[in-house]
Amino acid sequence: MGVGAVLDITQTALLTQRAALEVTGHNIANAETEGYSRQSVSLSPRQSLPLGRVLLGTGVQLDQVQRAYNAFASMNIDRKTSTLGDLSARDEYLGILQSVFNETEDGGLENQLSAFWAGWQDVANNPGGTAERLAVVQHAEELVSLIGARRDQVVSLESEVKSRVTQEVDSVNDMLSQVATLNNEIVGMEAGGASANDLRDQRDLLLHKISESVGVNYFEQPNGQTTVFIAGRLMVDGGNSYELDTDSSGGQLSITWHGSLPTSEDISSQIDGGKLGGYLTMLQDTLPGCVTGLDDLASSLVFEVNSVHSQGVGKTALTSATMTEIADDPTAAMSAAASGLDFHDRIDDSGAASLKVHVYDAGGTPLVAGGSTITITAGMTLNQLATAIDGVNGLSASVTNGRLTVSAAAGEGGASFAFSDDSSHVLAALGINTFFSGHDAGTIAVSATADNVTASQVQADSTFGLGDGRNALAIADLADSRLSIGGTTQTFGEAAGELLGDIGVEAASVGRQKGFQEQMIDQLVARRDSQTGVSLDEELSNMLKFQHAYTAAAKLLTVADDMLKTLVEMR
Amino acid sequence: MRVTESIIYRGINSNLGRLNSDIQQLNQQISSGKRLLLPSDDPVGAVSAQAIRGRLTAMDQQKRNCEAWKGWLQSTESAMTETQDEVIIRARELATQMNNSTYSASQRTMAAEEVNNLLEEAVSLGNTQYGGRYIFSGFRDDTKAFEATRNGTGDITAVTYQGDDGHHELKLGPSAKMESSLTGQEAFQGSADVFATLINLRDALRANDPTAIAGTMADLQNCTANFSAKVADVGSKVNRLDLRVSIVADTKLADTDRLSEIEDTDMIEAITALQAKQLNYQAALQAASTTQQLNLASYL
């Protein structure tokens, strides 16, 4: 032991305090780095050496540089972040959906419906008036284009969300492979016992970002590697990562996983939370719900209006009528799905239902006062119906390319014809003498011309008057009728209101939850950061502390130097 | 708690952000005048607002219906009143007068000519049009209600009804309908046929036959009774339409008020809230800038 020992101590002190200052500098430099955790040095005295009967210290040593980290707080934040990601994704698209369905303006669906029904009352007030007839067709065109536009907007939102899902899946896969790479690097760097603080921070940040995208579970293995699961499926195992895939082959977009297995499985229903979870909820529930709501409304509108319309008569009787629907198989029962008729299930072919057809000569006089009854027999096919109508004196009927055409047969003395009393709904289902064509929000269209708008009804003696507005009134009455729309008994107005209400309620609830979740995360992050974040004041005071220690050690060096000089200069 | 700079910055950011979005929302509510900007602002209110809008359109239509048919009913009323006052009452006076044995054949012939004119007048009143539609023709309102058959000298020998038995209806409300027309048969050929009676009276006067003249008196009496009853009925319908229009106007006013209550911004409340938020925002900015200055670095 000698002065050399003092020099040794001085050297450890200088090196250690400089290292501590470096850590402080690293902290200050990364004060605003995302995901950075505060690092600190832990120092201990070096092993003492005996000098005679006493033990003398040999200086200071740097044991490790550790990071302030709270695994529980981080995982808790990640979990809440997943929920927030889900809510944010839905909030964004519900916002867009709300502006699509925004009825707080005058052009809303319910208002257009009211204008449409009002148009029928105008026709009823003056059935012979061309202006009123044109107006109701115009109202119908506006209504139809509004319903169609709504549906188109929802469908285009759907495809936008789908592309977001694909992007999100790509980014999750990318981050998963980075986690696997970091797993390897961390194990490599920590082989000597040191802690790879910055790499661990990076890995935590990646896991946090994955949480934002999708609900994720992870835990650290004893060797320092993190194992990651999504939807209960293994995604990162040590240095290996597996990918999520998207599959839209079934028309629906699904998320699949196959891991190390040869075949993929659909895990869409198990994906929970994160933006992906939110997008999937939109794709599986919200958006299809909007489309179904619009489709149900349009389908009921088409059928109910057509049911009444098809039993009326326009400005003049018909000379020829062709169905707007197409039967895939005219030899199948019209009430069976095989017929390919969209409203096949609405046809009553119990044998008790029938319709009446009235044929007029060139002078407008009925050939048979009271008309001819055509009974819709059980399992009647379109071809059989054509034969039955063809059998009526003054009419000819045939089926071409799945479409029934009924015409007045001049050879049999018929010049025009009209329908009434269709208790079987077959005319509405086929689209004969109907107002609308189509069967849902995407296909609904106006098929009647102003003159064909059936404001009137045939009287018991088969005659009809131009001033008769009973049929128009019967259609206007649909406005206040409670009908089965989408399985619920309600009016058309209520159905339109429900569409709006459902979106409004969902958006309001998601918005509220999102606000709540954000505040909660703010608090959790503040609590975590109070442990792991960098405080500049603290770092500055540490800096002073280490600086002074360094200065003092340097002073010690001078003293040791003086001591050596004293020894050397002794004579 | 140990407070780091990032906690402070994040706090400042999220608080200012929240205040900003509140201020933006209030600003929009004030400048647009609408409290309900999106359905999610108040889903229940948005749905009722839409239902009210639909109802307002329906009520406008009810008013239009009432106005459209009021004119029709008034034409009906005036055609029938005129027939009663100008035609039937005058015919009764003539019949009563000429029944008296003091009148000569030539005086009765002159009276017959007057009755003939009354008959022509009655046919023309029976063919009254409103808006180009024959009001007494039932549903066949594009054809004349009554067609007169004339003999070689141009005199009416018979009047036939050409319309049908259809009754127009109008929609007064969701479930209320009202018949708004009389067929020519009901109005002119009810318990006694006005035209046939006038033809009989004219012919009896021409024939100078007091017994036949007396024979028309009972029919004329029946015509009067029928017309009085029908005119009263039509008159009460006109009143019902007037009443309906005023009810609709009241309901519309109430619904418009309700709509405004649901949708419109309460300006006083919104402006007060905006001022409070602005104050809050300024205070937050002040606090943030003060916090920035608290830093050990400035003292080293």
Helix A130-189 to helix A287-309 angle (10° resolution) is 160
- Could you give the CA distance from residue A228 to residue A244 in angstroms, rounded to a whole number? 13
B19 CA: distance to closest CA in chain A (Å): 13
- Could you give the CA distance from residue A417 to residue A34 in angstroms, rounded to a whole number? 80
Q: In terms of Cα–Cα distance, which of B240, B146, B150, B226 is closest to B190?
A: B226
Comparison of pLDDT for A252 and A348, the residue scoring more:
A348
Three-class SS string for A494-517? HHHHHHHHHHHHHHHHHHHHHHHH
User: Can you tell me the mean pLDDT for A160-166?
Assistant: 94
A152-191 burial by CB neighbour count: b if 16+ within 10 A, else e? ebbeebbeebbebbeebbebbbebbbbbbbbbeebbebee
Mind listing the pLDDT tens digit for each residue in B29-51? 999 998 888 888 888 888 888 88
Residue A103 has a pLDDT of 62
**CA nearest A539 in B: which residue?**
B296
Q: Which of B6, B42, B53 sits opposite A108 (nearest CB)?
A: B53
Q: ipTM of the predicted structure?
A: 0.86
Which range in A177-181, A495-499, A534-538 is most confidently predicted, on average pLDDT?
A: A177-181
**CA nearest A512 in B: which residue?**
B40
**CA nearest A537 in B: which residue?**
B296
Q: Cα dist. B171→A70, A353, A547, B244, B291 in Å?
A: 73, 30, 94, 11, 71
- Could you give the CA distance from residue A122 to residue A59 in angstroms, rounded to a whole number? 103
Residue B244 lies in a domain: yes
Three-class SS string for A324-393? CCCCCCCCCECCCHHHCCCCHHHCCCCCCCEEEEEEECCCCCECCCCCEEEECCCCCEHHHHHHHHHCCC
Q: In terms of Cα–Cα distance, which of B118, B121, B122 is closest to B95?
A: B118
User: Can you tell me the mean pLDDT for B83-110?
Assistant: 91
Q: Does B240 touch chain A (CB under 8 A)?
A: no
**CA nearest A462 in B: which residue?**
B164
B3 CA: distance to closest CA in chain A (Å): 5
Residue B290 has a pLDDT of 85
B226 CA: distance to closest CA in chain A (Å): 25
pLDDT of residue B269 exceeding 80, the answer is yes
Q: Which helix (H) or strand (E) holds A320?
A: strand A320-322
**CA nearest A101 in B: which residue?**
B39
Q: Does B164 touch chain A (CB under 8 A)?
A: yes
CB of A331 closer than 8 Å to CB of A381: yes
pLDDT of residue A7 exceeding 90, the answer is no
Mind listing the pLDDT tens digit for each residue in A82-118? 999 999 999 999 999 988 887 656 678 888 899 999 9
CATH code for the domain of B87: 1.20.1330.10
DSSP string, A227-268: EEEETTEEEEETTEE--EEEE-TTSS-EEEE-TTSSS-EE-G
Q: Which of A206-215, A386-395, B46-55, B63-72 has the lowest mean pLDDT?
A: B46-55
Residue B34 lies in a domain: no
CB of A355 closer than 8 Å to CB of A346: no
Mind listing the pLDDT tens digit for each residue in B7-33? 888 888 888 988 999 999 999 999 999
pLDDT of residue B76 exceeding 70, the answer is yes
Please report, rounded to a whole number, the percentage of residues in chain B having pLDDT higher than 90. 70
Report how many domains make up chain B.
Answer: 1
Q: Which of A115, A496, A525 sits opposite B57 (nearest CB)?
A: A115
Task: Report the DSSP beta bridge partners of residue B89.
Answer: none
Mind listing the pLDDT tens digit for each residue in A350-392? 989 999 999 999 999 999 999 999 999 999 999 999 999 999 9
Domain region containing B143: 51-256
What is the average pLDDT value for chain A, to the nearest integer?
92
Mind listing the pLDDT tens digit for each residue in B109-157? 999 999 999 999 999 999 999 999 999 999 999 999 999 999 999 999 9
| B140:A507 CB<8 A | no
- Please classify residue B229 by burial: count the beta carbons closer than 10 Å to its beta carbon, then call 0-12 exposed, 13-18 middle and 19+ buried: exposed
What are the tokens at A455?
């404001």
User: Can you tell me the mean pLDDT for A453-473?
Assistant: 94
Q: Chain B partners of A535 at a C-beta cutoff of 8 Å? A: 2-5
Coil, strand or helix at A277: helix
- Could you give the CA distance from residue A553 to residue A543 in angstroms, rounded to a whole number? 15
Mind listing the pLDDT tens digit for each residue in A215-226? 999 999 999 999
Residue B68 lies in a domain: yes
User: Can you tell me the mean pLDDT for B209-230?
Assistant: 90
B60 CA: distance to closest CA in chain A (Å): 9
Tell if the pTM clears 0.80, that is, is over it.
yes
Q: Cα dist. A268→A126, A175, A252 in Å?
A: 57, 20, 11
CB of B231 closer than 8 Å to CB of B77: yes
Q: Which of A110, A467, A536 sits opposite B53 (nearest CB)?
A: A110
What are the tokens at B116?
């003939």
Q: Does B184 touch chain A (CB under 8 A)?
A: no
Q: Which of A122, A497, A508 sits opposite B50 (nearest CB)?
A: A497
B22 CA: distance to closest CA in chain A (Å): 13
What are the tokens at B249?
């106007």
pLDDT of residue A1 exceeding 70, the answer is no
Q: Chain B partners of A539 at a C-beta cutoff of 8 Å? A: none
CB of A275 closer than 8 Å to CB of A85: yes
Residue B257 has a pLDDT of 93
CB of B166 closer than 8 Å to CB of B143: no
| B54:A463 CB<8 A | no
pLDDT of residue A251 exceeding 90, the answer is no
Residue B291 has a pLDDT of 79
Q: In terms of Cα–Cα distance, which of A128, A309, A120, A129 is closest to B64?
A: A120
Provide, for chain A, the percentages of residues in helix, strand and coil under a 3-state DSSP scheme, each rounded to the nearest 5. 55, 15, 30
Q: Which of A98, A466, A527 sits opposite B140 (nearest CB)?
A: A466
pLDDT of residue A180 exceeding 70, the answer is yes
B109 CA: distance to closest CA in chain A (Å): 42
Q: Which of A456, A464, A508 sits opposite B40 (nearest CB)?
A: A508
